Amino acid sequence: MPHRILVFYGSYRRDRQGIRLAQYLVEGLAARGDDVELIDAKAVGLPMLDRMFKEYPEGEAPANLATLAEKIRTADGFVFVAGEYNWGMQPGLKNLTDHFLEEWFWRPAAIASYSAGRLGGARANSAWHATLAEMGMAVISSTLTVGGIGQALDADGQPTGDGGQALAKAFPRFADDLRWWIEAASAQRERSAPPY
């Protein structure tokens, strides 16, 4: 049975290159038999956080917020594709994430970061790890960091050069780790309802 995985991407920039990594991950996870959907923060178009989804009266949340809440609630796991801005998180992805809380609980999350520089968004990757854990997700230990994003993946999201080779080599372990935690969390939810 395929696992339902949401891949979140948050750049609003005109010449987005991280979308290549998001597409690579969507295609790679789908090729392994999972039901994968890209959630592009720019396309979803949430406003800057004023009210979380749970703060709206029943049935009064904006349609795009309610639709996304349902997708998050029914997913088995998540992948966050995180660009690094000035040693920190992308504001678009962080804003989307903060609109929800309980919807994230008790599911595993994985982080794939990128940057134009050689460190591959490692600082943003580390910051996301703590944030996602605080929001109730089980963050897996395997991560991907893709430096030189414009040279590591071509315009179609296909690996190129040394960076692309390194990504292709690291991806199977990343995907296996995510799958193991998805299956563990699913089995536990079947045995026992989450405590809150």
Q: Please give the average per-residue pLDDT across 34-49, as a whole number.
A: 97
Contacts for 90-95: CB closer than 8 Å, 24+ residues apart: 90/10, 90/11, 90/124, 91/10, 92/10, 92/11, 92/12, 92/41, 92/42, 93/8, 93/9, 93/10, 93/11, 93/41, 94/10, 94/131, 95/10, 95/41, 95/46, 95/48, 95/49
Q: What is the pLDDT of residue 45?
A: 95
- pLDDT interval class at 193 (50, 70, 90): confident
Query: What is the pTM assigned to this prediction?
Result: 0.97
- Give the residue extent of every domain in the chain: 4-191
What distance in Å separates the CA atoms of residue 80 and residue 117, rounded to the nearest whole number?
Answer: 19
Find the mean pLDDT for residues 169-174: 98
- In this prediction, residues 15-35 reach a mean pLDDT of 97
Q: What is the CATH number of domain 4-191?
A: 3.40.50.360
Q: Are strands 88-89 and 77-85 parallel, antiparallel or unpaired?
A: antiparallel
Average pLDDT, integer, range 82-101? 95
pLDDT in tens, 51-61: 999 999 999 99
Residue 163 pLDDT class (50, 70, 90 cuts) = very high
- The reported pLDDT for the residue numbered 194 is 87
Q: Which residue has the tokens 């949430």?
A: 46
